[in-house]
Amino acid sequence: MEISGNKKDTAETARDILEALLDLMGVSTVVTPVAEFTTDGDEGAEPTITLDVRGDDPGILIGRRGQTLSCLQYLVRIIVGHQTQEWPPIIIDVEGYKRRRFEALQALANRIAEQVKTRGVPFALEPMPAFDRRIIHLSLAGHPEVTTQSNGEGEMRKVVIQPRE
């Protein structure tokens, strides 16, 4: 993936801001830029800045259902946006937590798709946050036999995998 000079600067700004925040939060960590995983095969998409945090207490940084991590990511995006006037997609991960979740959800999507294909009946997954639902939709976007759809409101919103008409 080509990373333009400008993008590189934004990536560095993002890393500096994340490091400053973690330092002020009193957690000792190491931040490393890693290869993006969320837009795999998503051609033409803007390259994502992906930063992985390693430290002595990953659990506290992830928080309940990843809530602390998503707040951290949100604030880094706002600060980077305000300072550079650019709004690139930024993903912050903790010790590969999101990457593993991404892979697990992809595997789940494919497994359920097989089942829906064989049995011919729709299957509703557990309620999930938007980021997770997006992974399911993207994983099955090009599937010849099934389609996906989100139903329900707020925290109860879930993906339904159904046979393609």
Partner 1 sequence: MKELVEFIARSIVDAPDDVKVEEEITEEGLTLKLQVADEDKGRVIGKQGRIAEAIRTLLRVKAAKAATKVRLEII
Contact footprint for partner 1 (CB under 8 A): 17, 20-21, 24-27, 60-61, 63, 67-68, 71-72, 74-75, 78-79, 82-83
**Min. distance of Cβ 100 from partner 1 in angstroms?**
22
**Quick one: 81 or 163, whose CB is closer to partner 1?**
81
Of the candidates 114, 149, 135, the residue with the CA atom closest to the CA atom of residue 41 = 135
Which CB atom, from 11 or from 80, has the smaller least distance to partner 1?
80
Torsion sign over Cα 102, 22, 17, 30: negative
Nearer to partner 1, 79 or 160 (CB): 79
CB-based contacts of 51, cutoff 8 Å, min separation 6? 14, 15, 18, 31, 32, 33, 34, 90, 91, 92, 93
C-alpha dihedral (85, 87, 93, 99), degrees to nearest 10: -160
CB 89, min distance to partner 1, A: 18
Q: Which is nearer to partner 1, 68 or 106 (CB)?
A: 68
For the bound state, the minimum distance from the C-beta of residue 84 to partner 1, rounded and expressed in Å, comes to 11
For partner 1, the closer CB: 94 or 116:
94
Single-letter code of the amino acid located at 20 = A
Shortest spacing between CB 25 and partner 1, in angstroms: 5
The least distance separating partner 1 from the CB of residue 123, rounded to whole angstroms, comes to 33
